[in-house]
Structure 1
Amino acid sequence: MWKLLPLISFALVSVLGTVLAGQDKAVDEAARIAAVTQPTDDFSRSEPYELRPGGAATSFETVNRDAFSHASANMSFERELDFKVGNGIFRKIWVSAPASTASSDGLGPLFNARACQSCHLKDGRGHPPATSEDAGGSMLLRLSVPPQDDAQREALASLRQSVIPEPTYGTQLQDLSIQGHLAEGRLRIEYEEIPVELADGTVVHLRNPTYRVTDLNYGPMNPEVMLSARIAPPMIGLGLLEMIDESDILAGADPDDANGDGISGKPNRVWSEAHGEVRLGRFGWKAGEPTIRQQTAHAFAGDIGLSSDLTPTPAGDCTDRQPDCLAAPNGVDPQYGDLEVAPEMMDLVVFYSRNLAVPARRDLDDPDILAGKRLFYESGCITCHRPKYVTRRDEAHPEQSFQLIWPYTDLLLHDMGEGLADGRPDGNATGREWRTPPLWGIGLTEVVNGHTLFLHDGRARNLLEAILWHGGEAEAARKRIVEMTEAQRDALIAFLNSL
């Protein structure tokens, strides 16, 4: 028993206690979990175990650029090798086929990055291009069109597809290509400054982006094309999010706003390639992926042009209107099951992604941070940014099993208003809806990535701008923050930076 304790959250061992013999263990445990995950109303001090947002997996290496790159702290020595090998594959620079390095070829022919690490730099947050000449490798432009016929409408209705690809350019714009092929085009961004006056007279300028594509090399796009720019999100805590029980997520859903609080979070439902059925979406800006493995497979295919067990097409996102791309040499290998990313390699990358640790909180008993936490809670932010959960038990994933975690998300979709709308539906998500992003680690963005650019497309240059972009279901909470004094806003931001 005691040898297993490092793999169990000591927080839960202490807080939930020992279930006495003769009691109904399931009912008793469920009641204790419900009690420990209730939002606090005591802001005089930090809560028990709040220091460890990732439970026993929390990393305390938070003072340098590697703060997002550490393994789960409760990982056994035997499993650390898999984490390190997975990291090596995550950082691997892929090359075009054929090549002498058979396990590293198959890039493209059209792609956005040569390595996973190119977008998720230091396992952190991406950014939009700094200039019109900046390739902006950590930003992608998603593409789709409305359904064109009954078959496509049925594919969307059944959720076998989440979007209909643009007929020529597929589901995302590839701005890079291997030798002998033309990239698809270039993303261009123009910003308009929008002034917002706060109640105390402070004026904040927001950047409103407009996106367009130039230098198209394969003909015009469909006139009904829908564009959505996305930066790469941080990689930390993914395994913990995957281990939140589905019932705990759905318990927060209220798609018809039955309780009349103005918040109508709803789940995204998406097709799981591994399970052959519709599953709850958890990952991505619109919760468009059900598992870490499927998210990883789609990133290999769309971003780098590599086939794997869930996406076996070696030409990546190439379409029938790009015959040279489809006919290009690829890196498939019979010993890998005619795939470019061997299943064993995929397993290691998924294991690495699952075990990137959440950093510990900082200064959480500082009076200003406690004051900011009260304002965050009382402003209604926790209605969507739900503070904490207990993950389910799973012997296959001991690092994430039965942990008290603090991600500050409900993993549901919310209407964020016209200001943030991309107008591009994705599965059950409308063009105005986004998944509530986790907030853990957000205060270390500048330490890890050297910038403070937030939201799905990096338009917000700091946390206050990100808050002021909130609308729709978040409009009431935004209004309360607009009405704060400068000292209150500073305390609120201090709390967020402590996460």
Structure 2
Amino acid sequence: MPVSTPKTYRTFLPIIVIASICAGMTAAQSLEDIHLNVVPRTETERARVDAATALPTDFSKAWPFEQNGGGAQTVRSRDTADAFSQPAANLTFEQELEFRIGNGMFRRVWVSPPASTLASDGLGPLYNARSCQRCHLKDGRGHPPEGPGDSAVSMFLRISIPAPEASEIAAYIDGIHPTAPDPTYGTQLQDFSLPGHKPEYRLDVSYEEIEVPLAGGEVAHLRAPTYRAADLGYGPLHANAMLSPRVAPQMIGMGLLEAIPSEDILALADPEDVDGDGISGWPQIVWSDVYDQPMLGRFGHKAGNPTLLEQTASAFAGDIGISNPIHPAGSGDCTDAQTDCRAAMHGGDAEQSGFEIDQVGLDIVTFYSQTLAVPARRNVSDPEVLRGREVFYTTGCPSCHRPNYVTHRLEGDNPASFQLIWPYTDLLLHDMGPGLADNRPEGRANGQEWRTAPLWGIGMTKLVSGHTYFLHDGRARSLLEAVLWHGGEAQHARDTVVDMPPEERAALIKYLESL
């Protein structure tokens, strides 16, 4: 049976961490933003930040700066599919050049070794995609399968098995996750393979339609998915294997999310729901392979990575099978049980320190991911959008979808430095109820908890990705469906949307589409 972190540790550890930070204890140093060259805020700057992030109470007009979601990185909103692929507006000439090089590497199609193109060989042997771009289509969201027989585009299944209870305690001491890889299939299932190797599986999905009556005589329909790992290539899954579907998220503004002070995120955590509002978000704490210590998790559907560098390295290794300085195995996610995969030719290049992508390449792709611009909001003064904004705030959505922050002041010419941004996320873990549960714990998230997804750019999904599929597995076919899947801590807000007059629901969706 799926397991989750025991309640005693789930509630106790966040209090320890937050209290340590407040007390300035040595143990809290692990949650400082050591991945950034931070210039500490002065008291004057703290006052400026408080004033800049204070939300107006007048909903009758657009608010100052809310149109520029990415601060000085914001770019003009385009009406073409490359709207998410633009460099941040405040890059220097040299940085934009690096961005362009990173774009080329992000789009690079990897090939099997040996190949005459030494810089591009090393694919697989097992993989989910041949390039970063093939998961993050046009730097936007991936595409789930429509139903049985439809090929999955940029979607796969994570897999793990329960670990002994002792490992759950050690997770907060030594960085060991409370789950372990499947002994045969590793940490995720790959549906493609090089010649001479079998793919691990075929993703099979079926949907059941659920009717949801809405106030005002309207009716919505949700599709509840069932996922199955079919045509397994290496024998059965572990008896206690836990599967979780993943669709690639959009890429914009990620460097700005990385630059939000961890203390600002931790200040939003309320694991015991002390204020009684029904919201008890708490921080994901993960082990950093780069810094060799615990750090605040920010990236991934369950905030499983602390930095974009580590997120990028994990994707290269797990999704494409490309070795790198953080994940050096030439066979990617292959396990000891997959002997042919482990023995396959490695594409490591002596000029790249023996890896298939070296630290220089990894840094360039990371920089590209950090500097993809957030498009400016549209229609901010439209009366229906303004009404929808009021509905959004009065319904309680900002309790999790925190509207704005000011990023760290950073040394040098870092383009993320000291920006007022509007991502609409608290980057915390929240219980979203049994409807969205994958029943698979990850780090400190149990099987019902997910990181709050940023909302900036969400209204441009159709333009960029050619669809309107939302949530971690793309089950929601519209923004309204995404709202109606909310449960757990968001149940009250969801029910409020169900019960409100149709014109208010329409205004709410109109507001979300403007983000």
TM interval, shorter chain, is over 0.9
Does residue 248 of structure 2 align to residue 232 of structure 1? yes
Which of 355, 369, 391 is matched with 2:385 structurally? 369
Counterpart in the other structure of 2:372? 356
Deviates more, 1:253-262 or 1:32-41: 32-41
Contact 1:162 1:270 in 2 (8 A): no
- Could you tell me which amino acid in structure 2 is paired with residue 63 of structure 1? D
Whether contact under 8 Å (1:112, 1:137) holds in the other structure is no
Listed one character per residue, the Cα deviations across residues 164-192 of structure 1 (whole Å, up to 9, x for unaligned) are 11111011010000011000011111111
Which of 261, 268, 274 is the aligned partner of 2:277?
261
Which residue matches 1:404?
420
- Contact kept, 8 Å, 1:142 with 1:172, in 2: the verdict is yes
Structure 2 match to 1:347: 363
Aligned to 2:499: 483
Match of 1:432 in 2: 448
Alignment counterpart, residue 85 of structure 1, candidates 84, 101, 105: 101
> Residue type matched to 2:357 in 1?
V
Is the partner of 2:473 in helix, strand or coil?
coil
Residues 1:185 and 2:201 are matched in the alignment = yes
Task: State the match for 2:478 in structure 1.
Answer: 462
Could you tell me which of 87, 96, 121 is aligned with 2:112? 96
CA distance in 2, matches of 1:152, 1:466: 32
What residue identity is the alignment partner of 1:58? T
Is the Cα–Cα contact under 8 Å of residues 230 and 457 in structure 1 kept in the other structure?
yes
Per the TM alignment, residue 132 of structure 1 is displaced from its structure 2 partner at its CA by 3.3
Q: Distance in 2 between matches of 1:34 and 1:153?
A: 37
Match of 2:46 in 1: 30
Q: Distance in 2 between matches of 1:95 and 1:74?
A: 35
Instruction: Name the structure 2 match of 1:417.
Output: 433
Question: How far 1:78 sits from its partner (Å)?
Answer: 1.8
Report the Cα distance in structure 1 between the residues aligned to 2:165 and 2:368, rounded to whole angstroms.
Answer: 41
1:129 to 145, 163, 183: 145
What pairs with 1:186-201 in structure 2 (closer than 5 Å)?
186-201=202-217
Say yes or no: does 1:302 pair with 2:318.
yes
User: CA, structure 1 residues 111+397, in 2 after alignment: closer, same or farther (shift >3 Å)?
Assistant: farther
Residue 107 (structure 1) aligns with: 123
2:396 to 380, 395, 399: 380
Q: Count residues in correspondence.
A: 476
1:145 partner SS: strand
Provide the residue aligned with 2:468 in structure 1: 452
Matched, 1:495 2:506: no
**TM-score, with structure 1 as normaliser:** 0.93
Aligned to 1:62: 78
Deviation at 1:134, TM superposition (A): 3.4
SS in 1 for 2:328: coil
Contact in 1 for aligned 2:209/2:223 (Cα 8 Å)? yes
1:20-55, Cα deviation, whole Å (9 max, x unpaired): xxxx98222212211221233111111111111000
Distance apart, 1:422 and its partner CA: 0.5
More displaced, 345-354 or 148-157?
148-157
* Counterpart AA for 2:340: D
Change (3 A) 1:45 1:444: same
Partner of 1:223: 239
Specify the SS of the correspondent of 2:215: coil
Superimposed CA distance per residue, residues 362-420 of structure 1 (whole angstroms, 9 cap, x where no aligned partner) = 01000000000000000000000000000001124521100000000000000000100
- Secondary structure in structure 1 of the residue aligned to 2:99: helix
Q: Which residue of 2 aligns with 1:214?
A: 230
- Counterpart CA distance in 2 for 1:302 and 1:135 is 19
Distance 1:82 1:226 in 2: 40
The whole-number CA distance in structure 1 between the counterparts of 2:311 and 2:88 is 20
Matched, 1:393 2:405: no
Q: Is the 8 A contact 1:193 1:206 kept in 2?
A: yes
Pick from 353, 360, 363 the counterpart of residue 337 of structure 1.
Answer: 353
Q: Residues of 1 paired with 2:389 and 2:413: CA distance?
A: 32
Instruction: Report percent identity of matched pairs.
Output: 57
Q: Deviations over 1:257-312 (max 9, x none)?
A: 11111000000000111100010000000010000000000000000001111111
- Quote the RMSD (CA, aligned, Å): 1.5
TM-score (ref. length: structure 2): 0.90
Residue of structure 2 equivalent to 1:21: none
Q: Select the residue among 182, 187, 203 that pairs with 1:171.
A: 187
Partner of 1:316: 332
Question: SS at 2:134's partner residue?
Answer: helix
User: Which of 157, 169, 176 is matched with 1:160 structurally?
Assistant: 176
Q: C-alpha distance in 2, partners of 1:293/1:481?
A: 38
The answer for the alignment partner of 1:471 in structure 2 is 487
1:290 aligns with 2:306: yes
Question: 1:94–1:106: 8 Å Cα contact kept in structure 2?
Answer: yes
Secondary structure of 1:190's counterpart equals strand
Q: Is the 8 A contact 1:94 1:104 kept in 2?
A: yes
1:304–1:467 CA distance, 2 compared to 1 (3 A): same
Q: Give the superposition deviation at 1:159.
A: 2.4
CA 295–181 in structure 1, closer or farther in 2 if over 3 Å, else same: same
**Is the deviation greater in 373-382 or in 43-52?**
43-52
Is the CA contact (8 Å cut-off) linking 2:384 and 2:507 kept in structure 1?
yes
**Contact 1:156–1:427 at 8 Å: present in 2 too?**
no
Amino acid at match of 1:422: D
Segments of 5+ residues of structure 2 without an aligned counterpart are 1-39
Is the 2:286–2:297 Cα contact (8 Å) retained in structure 1?
yes
Find out whether 1:278 has 2:288 as its counterpart.
no
Residue 341 of structure 2 aligns with which residue? Answer: 325
SS at match of 2:179: coil
Task: Check 1:376–1:149 CA distance in 2 against 1; reply closer, same or farther (3 A cut).
Answer: closer
Q: For the Cα contact (< 8 Å) 2:197–2:341, is it kept in 1?
A: yes
Preserved CA contact (<8 Å) 1:269 1:428: yes
Query: Out of 232, 252, 266, which is 2:268 matched to?
Result: 252
Alpha-carbon distance between aligned partners in 2 of 1:150 and 1:461, rounded to the nearest angstrom: 41
Name the CA distance, whole Å, in 1 between partners of 2:270 and 2:164: 32
Cα shift at 1:104: 0.4
For 1:3, the equivalent position in structure 2 comes to none
Go from structure 1 to structure 2 and tell me whether the alpha carbon gap of 1:149 and 1:433 turns closer, same or farther (over 3 Å shift).
Answer: closer
